[in-house]
Amino acid sequence: MTMVKKNTLSELAIFGGKSLLDRPRSTSNLVQPDFQKFMGYSKTFFDAHHYTNNGPNVKLVEQRLATFHQSEYCITFSSGFWAIALAISALALKGKTEIIMPSLTYRRMPDIAAWLNLKPHFCDVDAATLAMSAATVTPCINENTALILGVHPIVNCCDVDGLVAIAAERSIPLLFDSVESVYEFTAGGKVGSFGNAEAFSLHACKLLNGFGGGYVTTNDARLAEQLTLLRGFGFRGADNVVVPGGMNAKLNEMHAAMALASLDGVDDQVARNRRRYVCYKRLLADLSGIRLLEFNELERPAYKNIVVELLDDWPLSRVDTVSILNAEKMLARAYYSPPLHHKARSFAQTPAGLPVTERLAEKFLSLPCGHFVSDDDIADIVGILGFIHVNGKQINERLHENGVT
Nearer of residues 12 and 202 to ligand PLP, judged by Cβ: 202
Burial class (CB in 10 A: 0-12, 13-18, 19+), 312: exposed
Stretch that binds ligand PLP, among 89-97, 135-143, 172-180, 338-346 (CB under 6 A): 172-180
Of 4-12, 173-181, 242-250, 272-280, which segment contacts ligand PLP by CB under 6 A?
Answer: 173-181
In degrees, rounded to 5, the angle at the alpha carbon of residue 58 between the alpha carbons of residues 57 and 59 is: 90
Does position 184 interact with ligand PLP (CB under 6 A)? The reply is no
Distance of closest approach, residue 387 Cβ to ligand PLP, in angstroms: 31
Residue 13 exposure: Cα atoms within 13 Å on the Cβ side: 17
Beta strand 73-77 pairing with 119-123:
unpaired
203 binds ligand PLP (CB under 6 A): yes
* Of residues 210 and 386, the one with the C-beta less far from ligand PLP: 210
Output the smallest distance, CB 130 to ligand PLP, in A: 13
Binding to ligand PLP by residue 150, rule CB under 6 A?
no
Residue in 285, 227, 186 with CA at minimum distance from that of residue 83: 227
Of residues 195, 196, 203, the one with CA closest to residue 179: 203
Judged by beta carbon, residue 154 or residue 361, the one nearer ligand PLP is 154
DSSP H stretches of helix in 234-354: 253-264, 266-284, 318-327
Task: Output 71 or 201, the one with its CB closest to ligand PLP.
Answer: 201
Using the rule CB under 6 A, give the single segment among 23-31, 46-54, 77-85, 322-330 that binds ligand PLP.
Answer: 77-85
Q: What is the dihedral of CA 321, 322, 325, 326, to 10 degrees?
A: -150
Strands (E), 130-196: 145-151, 174-177, 185-186, 189-190
180 binds ligand PLP (CB under 6 A): yes
Q: State which of residues 201, 228, 349, 357 lies at the interface with ligand PLP (CB under 6 A).
A: 201
Where b means 16+ CB within 10 Å and e means fewer, 228-240 reads: bbbbbebeeeeee
| Shortest reach from residue 241's CB to ligand PLP, in Å | 25
Contact with ligand PLP (CB under 6 A) among 98, 159, 177, 198 = 177
Q: Which of 81, 303, 335, 364 touches ligand PLP (CB under 6 A)?
A: 81
Please tell me whether residue 198 binds ligand PLP under the rule CB under 6 A: no
| Single residue of 179, 224, 256, 369 touching ligand PLP by CB under 6 A | 179
Question: For the CA atoms of the chain, what is the radius of gyration?
Answer: 22
182 or 384: CB nearest ligand PLP: 182
327-366 core/surface letters (b: 16 or more CB in 10 A; e: else): bbbbbbbbbbbebbbeeebeebbbeeebebbeebbbbbbb
Instruction: List b or e across 144-172, with b for residues whose CB sees 16 or more CB atoms inside 10 angstroms.
Output: ebbbbbbbbbbbbbbbbebbbebbeeeeb
Interaction of residue 27 with ligand PLP, rule CB under 6 A: no
Q: Which is nearer to ligand PLP, 173 or 214 (CB)?
A: 214
- Mark 16-49 as b/e (b = at least 16 C-beta within 10 Å): eeeebbeeebbbbbebbbeeebbeebbebbeeee
Residue whose Cβ sits closest to ligand PLP:
80
Query: With respect to ligand PLP, which residue has the nearer C-beta, 180 or 184?
Result: 180
Q: Are 302 and 371 in contact (CB under 8 A)?
A: no
Using rule CB under 6 A, residue 80 touches ligand PLP: yes
Interface segment toward ligand PLP; rule CB under 6 A; list 50-58, 79-87, 188-196, 339-347: 79-87
**Which class for 53: exposed (0-12), middle (13-18), buried (19 or more C-beta within 10 A)?**
exposed
Stretch that binds ligand PLP, among 44-52, 86-94, 177-185, 320-328 (CB under 6 A): 177-185
Binding residues among 89-108 for ligand PLP as defined by CB under 6 A: 106
Number of residues that bind ligand PLP (CB under 6 A): 12
* Contact set for ligand PLP, span 212-241 (CB under 6 A): 214
Q: Which residues bind ligand PLP (CB under 6 A)?
A: 79-81, 84, 106, 151, 177, 179-180, 201, 203, 214
